[in-house]
Structure 1
Amino acid sequence: MKKRILAAFLVLAMAFALSACGGKSAGGDGEDTYNLKFSFEGGESMRTVSVWFGWEDKITEATDGKVTFTNYFDSTLLDANAEMTQLKSGIADIGDVHKLASDGFTIFEKWKGITMGTPVDGQVEMTQTLIDEFPELQDELADFKVMANAMDGGTYQLLTTEKKVSSVEDMKGMVIWCEADFNDYIKALGATPVNTPWSEVYSSLQKNMYDGLLIAAETLQSNNFAEVCNYITMVNLNYLAGPGHLMCLDTWNSLPESIQAVFDDAEIRGYIEKEQAESGHKSEASSIEWAEKNHGTEVIELSDAQQQKFIDILNQSKKSIAKEWDDQGLPGTKLLDRIIELSAEYEKK
């Protein structure tokens, strides 16, 4: 009996070791190879997902084929409601957790919410500066290895199904899908936020369960939201990039230093950070044009006064987030003040 128990334990231990390192195996030349499981929240056709394929190719090439990837899309590997816990346990080797669920973070859970309204040119550099200056941000990332600050820092617009939004007042009573970062903001606008998994958003809009969503305009085409959203209101709100693609720390520690050096290579990291930011902004205009031409999507430009109202409410919502963190002993106000300071510096460049 003891031998059977021991044998079962060894089998489980071996299975865990393999899952924590994405299927490590010996190559034909006797050197170890690694197939890493990469979990994405979005679908394969999404720009924010497909851009990572170029990064994967660079890693595979730079390691002479020793590192390859198996990709999983639409949250089929990591549960969208327990991403951080599952990634930490090694179910995936790398997780696209750019929505940063509350099972793993406090500050980064609302990263987009606190950084919305920042300059486009400062997306990546401002993020790294803040991480370097605030130990609390480093602490939240301590259980993972950050691949890059390539969470798709971009400009968000308001897509709506049946109701045209030309003012803040039009938002009252609406049900709007958003990432958890923006719950405070959507509530402050007088609407009700919902945060269901990304894979469920299209069908929910189609069934009129939601009145719209706050998201990048490129999704009109990449996610076919133009089929279910008749209007796009140009609120033009930009947020910072973030460390939204993380590696399981057990996986990272299992890799030899030579391969770790490839992941940390400035050129490879810089490629994905730059490509995510630039491609996002380039795709916005073409996606809006495509939606207008193919689905008759109506573009609504806000008046200067209404644009300012949306921004004023956003700034107030950011203060409420900062106060919430202050009450928890975190540097919420200090972080927000530093974001404002850095934004002013970039606007002068």
Structure 2
Amino acid sequence: MRRAILLACLLMAGCARPVPHAGVTELVYASPYSPAHPFSRADKSWMKFVEARSGGSIKVRPIWSGSLLSSDQSMEELRHGIADVGLVTPIYARGGAHLIRVQSGFYSGAKTPQSQVALYRCMTRASPEYAKELDGLEVLAVQGGILPGIVTRNRPVRSLADLKGLRLRAPSELISVLRELGADPVNMPMGDVYSALAKGVLDGVIAPPDTFGSLHFAEVAHYFTALEVPRGAYPARVMSSRRWKSLPADAQKVLLEGIPVWEAALASENEQAGKLGLKTAREANVTVMAMPAAEQARFDALYLRDAERNARSLSAYGIDGMTAFRAARRGVKPDGSIECGGM
């Protein structure tokens, strides 16, 4: 109801944004994160670039902490103009982003944010399904991230067998693998995990080490296992196509030039936050453990098999997931580099 009222206000211009100065284009940017979060710091780097590059003809007005956009309907909200630009998480979308959600499990072997973004673009070149799911939106940044591990409250995970019986928050592409290993996985927005850990509703979470600092998991968890869990890239900062088309050509040019700037800032902030998170964890006496190589290899095989099964399952929605999956497997080279040739 709250967002419906906000949308009505924007459309009716009754409680609309302030009128910018003549010759200045104002863009409202919405994020569910606080201004101090690593994602938001990257967003601020992009804002500074856009405003400087445009010579002040573009101004970005940020609205933080989830005041405008939800985590599960943000793509639709942006299509309807609740904000001009926003942070979206297609992996939580309730519908209309089946491939983008499932393809986040196709990135085995892509271990850095940069390689994940490159592989995402390999797949979008190969598959027209991405464009269909992003209809009505212009992508301004694709986001990857550092590899997650296993964060647990009170039970250390030293082998895959230790996952049995643990209730873990996990991304959707990992749920069937964890079930096969005997865990009890659930999917929920990351913003809800701290309280669930604190209350004992969750035993743990599949999450990167930055969360010990950025989401304060060091306060409610005592163990981190560095199992290398593949993670995918996804279109994370978008603008409505309607708003995009309303912009003058010079403003569009600046926003296009801002894409690599935003993606580089996101990668840098992710990597720095990961290092700081591990430091925070160790200072809080969180036990940090490695996963034995044989266990890692077993997990990798299960993950890749499940990814292919999920790709095939998209046919139930009339979606060709195998084209994207095959492009991903061709794109990742043995040394971890990404090449899109042979599409």
2:341 maps to none
Distance 1:50 1:140, change over 3 A: same
Amino acid at match of 2:154: E
How far has the Cα of 1:280 moved from its partner?
2.0
Name the residue aligned to 2:11: 16
Q: Which residue of 2 aligns with 1:218?
A: 210
The 8 Å contact of residues 43 and 262 in structure 2, kept in 1 or not, is answered as yes
Alignment of 1:270-349 (within 5 A): 270-293=260-283, 295-344=284-333, 347=336
CA distance in 2, matches of 1:321, 1:51: 32
Structure 1 match to 2:78: 87
- Give the conservation status (yes or no) of the 8 Å contact 1:180–1:195: yes
Match of 1:71 among 62, 70, 76: 62
AA aligned to 2:19 is S
Whether the 8 Å CA contact 2:139–2:238 is kept in 1: the answer is yes
CA gap of 1:281–1:236, structure 2 versus 1, over 3 A, is farther
2:111 and 2:146 in contact (8 A); partners too: no
Amino acid at match of 2:295: Q
- Deviation at residue 14 of structure 1 after TM alignment: 8.8
Distance in 2, matches of 1:287 and 1:344, equals 29
Secondary structure at the residue paired with 1:196? Answer: coil
Q: Which one has a bigger Cα radius of gyration?
A: 1
Question: What residue number does 1:166 align with?
Answer: 158
Structure 1 range deviating more: 161-170 or 232-241: 232-241
Rate the CA distance shift 1:240–1:80 in 2: closer, same or farther, 3 A.
Answer: closer
Distance 1:196 1:45, change over 3 A: same
Structure 2 residue 201 is the aligned partner of structure 1 residue 232: no
Letter of the 1:59 partner, please give it: V
Which letter does structure 2 place at the counterpart of 1:301? A
CA 145–191 in structure 1, closer or farther in 2 if over 3 Å, else same: same
Partner of 2:36: 45
Distance in 2 between residues matched to 1:308 and 1:180, nearest whole Å: 21
Gaps of 5+ in 1: 1-11
Partner Cα distance (1:81, 1:240) in 2: 18
Which letter does structure 2 place at the counterpart of 1:307?
A: Q
Post-superposition offset of 1:346: 5.5
Find the partner of 2:120 among 127, 131, 137: 127
Deviation string 1:27-83 (CA, Å, 9 cap, x unpaired) is 1xx32431x222223332221221111001111112222322232334331122322
Q: Is the 8 A contact 1:158 1:232 kept in 2?
A: yes
Q: Could you tell me the TM-score, scaled by structure 2's length?
A: 0.87
1:18-37 aligned within 5 A = 23=17, 25-27=19-21, 30-34=22-26, 36-37=27-28
Does the residue aligned with 1:235 lie in a helix, a strand or coil?
Answer: coil
Tell me which of 50, 57, 68 is aligned to 1:59. Answer: 50
Q: Deviations over 1:273-307 (max 9, x none)?
A: 123224323432332122112x1000111111111
Ranges in structure 2 where 5+ consecutive residues have no aligned partner: 1-6, 339-343
Q: Is the 8 A contact 1:102 1:109 kept in 2?
A: no
SS in 2 for 1:246: strand
The match for 2:141 is 148
Asked if the contact 1:74–1:198 (Cα under 8 Å) also holds between the matched residues in 2, the reply is no
- Asked if the contact 1:114/1:321 (under 8 Å) is kept, the reply is no
Give the Cα separation in 2 of the matches to 1:117 and 1:163: 28
Aligned partner of 1:192 among 184, 190, 205: 184
Q: What is the RMSD computed on CA atoms of the aligned residues?
A: 2.5
Q: 1:275 to 1:31 in 2, by over 3 A?
A: closer
Matched, 1:205 2:200: no
Shift of 1:215: 1.4
Indicate conservation of the 8 Å contact 1:226/1:297, yes or no: yes
Structure 2 residue aligned with 1:269, among 259, 262, 266?
A: 259
> Deviations along 1:239-277, whole A, 9 cap, x unmatched?
343211111222212211111111011xx2212212322
